[in-house]
Amino acid sequence: MTTPTTGTDATRATTPAQAADASDVLAVAAKYVGVPYLYGGTTPTGFDCSGYVKYVYATLGISLPRTADQQMRATTQVPRSQARPGDLVSFVSGGRVYHNGIYAGNGMMYDAPKTGGFVSRRAIWTATVVYTRVSRS
């Protein structure tokens, strides 16, 4: 699979001091488990996937763009082997992101899945994903 590159050098390493703190990200992400999916939702009354990701990071003072595709492109791609909890996991098809969530480690993620669903922690169901690191800067 050819993965899209982000707006920054995909080989650049993000130091721990620059990266969003994983324990804080996961604590905030877990706080909203059970919130219903809402297409276009950006608040705890209802989230879509990118609205949830944007909200979690905004709670920590980190601004991300609105859509899943924009979020992936605004962050730094990391190899799957270097993915850490708190990174973004973006599901790609045809060179575009159709879904995203927050990597929880061990093949798991937090996300707002689809109509009728709820924010949850669940398994990543495909290998066709791109991992990206969110920087505080």
Q: What is the CATH number of the domain that holds 121?
A: 3.90.1720.10
Residue 69 lies in a domain: yes
Say how many domains are in the chain: 1
| 117 or 16, higher pLDDT | 117
Residue 7 lies in a domain: no
Mean pLDDT value across residues 19-35: 94
Residue 3 lies in a domain: no
Active site residue 111: yes
Confidence at 17, pLDDT banded by 50, 70, 90: very low
Active site residue 9: no
User: How far apart (Å, rounded) are the C-alpha atoms in residues 50 and 41?
Assistant: 9
Nearest to 58 by CA among 24, 18, 90, 33: 24
User: How far apart (Å, rounded) are the C-alpha atoms in residues 134 and 81?
Assistant: 17
Which tokens is 20 given? 């969003």
User: How far apart (Å, rounded) are the C-alpha atoms in residues 33 and 112?
Assistant: 9
Pairing of strands 88-93, 120-123: unpaired
Mean pLDDT value across residues 1-16: 38
48, 69, 87, 99: the catalytic one is 99
User: How far apart (Å, rounded) are the C-alpha atoms in residues 20 and 34?
Assistant: 24
Q: Which domain holds residue 27?
A: 22-133
Which tokens is 87 given? 């990174």
Q: In this predicted structure, which of 1-5, 83-87, 88-92, 122-126 has the lowest mean pLDDT?
A: 1-5
Confidence at 136, pLDDT banded by 50, 70, 90: confident
Record the pTM: 0.86
Active site residue 99: yes
H or E element that contains 40: none
Write out pLDDT tens, residues 105-122: 999 999 999 999 999 999
Q: Locate tokens 């605004």: which residue?
A: 74
48, 69, 87, 111: the catalytic one is 111
